[in-house]
Amino acid sequence: MKRLFNFNLPPLLSVGPAALFLTVFFIAPFAIIAVYSLMEADPFGGVRRAFSADAYIQFLFTRDWDGNLQFDLSYLNIFWRSFALAAGATVLCLAAAFPAAYYIATQPRRRRGLLLLLITVPFWANLLVRTYCWVLILRDSGLVNGWLIAFDLISTPLPLMYTDGAILVGLTYTYLPFMALPIYASLEKTDWRLIEASRDLYAGHRQTLARVVFPLARPGVIAGCIMVFIPSLGAFIAPSLLGGGRNLMIGSLIQLQFSSSRNWPFGAASALILLAFVLLLLYLWRRRSGRDGRDDGESIW
Amino acid sequence: MPGFGAWTWVFYIFLYLPLVILVVFSFNAGRSATVWSGFSLDWYARAFGNESIQRATVNSLIVAFSAMTAATVLALLAALALMRGRRFRGGTVFRVTLLAPLMIPEIVTAVATLTFFSALGMQLGLFNVFIAHTVFCIPFAYLPIAARLSNLDESLECAARDLYAGAWRAFRRVTLPLAMPGIAAGAMLAFIISLDDFVITLMVADAGSTTLPVYIFGMVRMGTSPEINAVSTALLAVTTVIIVFHYYLSNSAKNRP
């Protein structure tokens, strides 16, 4: 659109501050970890200034006592576990949120506002606190075990905490609002006569859902899946509170390298590999939503 | 669709039951975080009297207020350039960079920022935390402001210019007041995002600049207690109040363009 008047704030004044700030404190840090990932680890933390590709080699191989490289799957396994858990959480969130989002979209305006607010509050609420709630529920002396023992259904507490199941529940619970809001946003504008028409033309509920509702909701479903999958893949809080020390995910693996393991190059390399996956995913999504001719990534705000 | 209504109830119960449990047991009289033994406010008194919690709360508030202010100013200027200024080279790259902290996993940003500070030898305590928070607060401040600006009728600003208001006056007397609901909404989101941040702060903050969520994490690591429930409930209450307020603000702004 051509404008009659421009706010000719000098670009240095409008774009300048944010551009400078982000270049120094956001882009430069990524450049630095890229460099660090190619250096030697200093056992006291940080790096030695010497080139080394060990951090990347370490993903697939371990060095035995003779210095020979041996194929080692343990880090790949952590990546695989993280993908599986993130995918599981995404599927569970989708299954739980889709019917709710659909139902909310069919409600009268005022009621919709309240129902949405009830999703928005947990959307913004503290992730750590929301995960901690599940510690209260799942731990050995927690609510579930407490009740089961009180009703004499079991005598020793079930090991619910520090399992993959616990991580999965935690991820699903914390990211559920991130799935519900985008789906709702794409269903909100639905022309409900389409659904009536489909029913009129003798489509059953299931058929209407699969052939009419779901295609209408697709941009929201994809946006929701991305918004659940990406933070789940890099999750740190859920695996460290609910998974304990043994059930690692990528996020906790990275954090460990910068704290107790003191292998900064390996941590940097893991972070970059995770980042590469995420950027690839976002790129594919972007291309897709460009084809759909809409941008649902921001509609929830 | 049959069953969707009932499912929605289950959905909301699942969403709120854990929070209700947390809140209820913060009022527990006994030492257990999950076995009820009567109502009391003791744990709140204990939490508020705990010096470490007080210090962490002050740190959290200092960081949240300063990061909110810096992020909102930067975001407003950026939004004016992108929504009102001339198109410029690198505009898309600028916008993507602005929003990138939203989509990049927090742990990645966290270790990148930590490495950056360590490579520079920058150890300025809370100031480091403030810098890190400002980066990820910018997109949260930017989105409501940009949304508000794109909904505003530019003809009002054109009219002001037509009536011989200079660029600054038109901005000060027309654009800024009209953009205010967006700016307030953005500032609120930036505030709670900073207040609630855990992962990035955990990596970036040194021992003296612990914020409340980092302190809570440390407590959870040592085991559950009604004291954690009390602090968590307080934090949850602050977020909830701001979000409810923000929600009504942005809805009334939508209805009154």
The long-range contacts involving B4-13, CB below 8 angstroms and separated by at least 24 positions, are B4/A99, B4/A100, B4/A102, B4/A103, B5/A103, B7/A99, B7/A100, B7/A103, B8/A99, B8/A100, B8/A103, B8/A104, B8/A115, B11/A96, B11/A97, B11/A99, B11/A100, B11/A176, B11/A180, B12/A100, B12/A118
DSSP A201: T
Chain A interface disruption, residue of B108, B135, B140, B158, most A CBs within 10 A = B108
Q: Say yes or no: A58 contacts chain B, CB-CB below 8 A.
A: no
CA A138 to chain centre: 22
Residue B239 has pLDDT above 80, yes or no: yes
Span B143-201, pLDDT tens digits: 888 888 887 777 777 777 778 777 778 778 878 888 888 898 899 999 999 998 999 99
Give the nearest chain A residue to B219 (CA atoms).
Answer: A132
Residues B158, B165: Cα–Cα separation, whole Å: 10
Question: What's the rounded mean pLDDT across residues B200-206?
Answer: 89
Residues B166, A13: Cα–Cα separation, whole Å: 17
Pick from B16, B81, B98: CB nearest A11: B81
Chain B interface disruption, residue of A114, A136, A169, most B CBs within 10 A = A136
Pick from A3, A129, A142: CB nearest B154: A3
What are B174's two structure tokens? 């027309």
List of chain A residues whose C-beta atoms are within 8 Å of the C-beta of residue B57: none
Which of 185-214 (A) contact B at CB < 8 A?
Answer: 205, 208-209, 213
Residues A263, A251: Cα–Cα separation, whole Å: 15
Contact between B115 and A36 using a beta-carbon 8 Å cutoff = yes
Give the nearest chain B residue to A116 (CA atoms).
Answer: B247
Which of A248, A127, A241, A125 is closest to B222 using CA atoms?
A241
- Predicted pLDDT at A218: 87
Contact between A100 and B232 using a beta-carbon 8 Å cutoff = no
3-state secondary structure string across chain B: CCCHHHHHHHHHHHHHHHHHHHHHHHCECCCCCCCCCCECCHHHHHHHHCHHHHHHHHHHHHHHHHHHHHHHHHHHHHHHHHHCCCCCCCHHHHHHHHHHHHHCCHHHHHHHHHHHHHHHCCCCCHHHHHHHHHHHHHHHHHHHHHHHHHHCCHHHHHHHHHCCCCHHHHHHHHHHHHHHHHHHHHHHHHHHHHHHCCHHHHHHCCHHHCCHHHHHHHHHHCCCCHHHHHHHHHHHHHHHHHHHHHHHHHHHHHHCC
Contact between B138 and A255 using a beta-carbon 8 Å cutoff = no
Contact between B11 and A298 using a beta-carbon 8 Å cutoff = no
| CATH code for position B236 | 1.10.3720.10
The one-digit pLDDT tens for each residue of chain A (301 residues) are 445 455 556 666 777 888 888 888 898 999 999 998 888 888 777 777 878 877 788 778 777 777 777 777 888 888 999 999 999 999 999 999 999 999 998 888 888 888 999 998 999 989 999 999 999 888 888 888 888 888 888 888 888 888 888 999 999 999 999 999 999 988 888 777 887 778 778 777 777 777 778 888 888 899 899 999 999 999 999 998 898 767 789 998 999 888 888 888 888 999 999 999 999 998 888 887 765 544 444 433 3
Q: Please, which residues have CB within 8 angstroms of residue A132's CB and are 6 or more apart in sequence?
A: A241, B22, B216, B220, B224, B228, B232
- Phi/psi for A39 (5° steps) reads -120, 175
Question: What's the rounded mean pLDDT across residues B230-244?
Answer: 92
Q: Which of A173-182, B31-40, B61-70, B206-215 has the lowest mean pLDDT?
A: B31-40
List of chain B residues whose C-beta atoms are within 8 Å of the C-beta of residue A275: 104-105, 108
Question: What's the rounded mean pLDDT across residues B228-257?
Answer: 82
Contact between A254 and B112 using a beta-carbon 8 Å cutoff = no
* Rg (alpha carbons) of chain A, rounded to whole number: 24
Q: pLDDT higher for B252 or A257?
A: A257
Residue B85 lies in a domain: yes
Give the nearest chain B residue to A24 (CA atoms).
Answer: B116
Q: What domain count does chain B have?
A: 1
**Alpha carbon separation from B218 to A191, A289, B202, B213, B214 (Å, rounded):** 50, 41, 10, 9, 6
Q: Say yes or no: A251 contacts chain B, CB-CB below 8 A.
A: yes
Helix (H, G, I), strand (E, B) or coil at A212: helix
Mean pLDDT of chain B: 86
Residue B44 lies in a domain: no
Contact between B119 and A122 using a beta-carbon 8 Å cutoff = no
Model ipTM value: 0.88
Q: B154 is in which domain, residue-wise? A: 50-255
Closest approach of chain B CAs to the CA of A294, in angstroms?
16
Count of pairs with CB atoms under 8 A, one residue in A, one in B: 267
List of chain B residues whose C-beta atoms are within 8 Å of the C-beta of residue A8: 85-86, 167
Instruction: Residues A74-292: name the CATH superfamily.
Output: MetI-like (1.10.3720.10)
Give the nearest chain B residue to A140 (CA atoms).
Answer: B34
Residue B177 lies in a domain: yes
Closest approach of chain A CAs to the CA of B158, in angstroms?
6
Residue B233 lies in a domain: yes
Question: What's the rounded mean pLDDT across residues B111-123?
Answer: 88
Length of chain B equals: 257
Contact between A254 and B111 using a beta-carbon 8 Å cutoff = yes
Helix (H, G, I), strand (E, B) or coil at A4: coil
Q: Say yes or no: A152 contacts chain B, CB-CB below 8 A.
A: no
Residue B83 has pLDDT above 90, yes or no: no
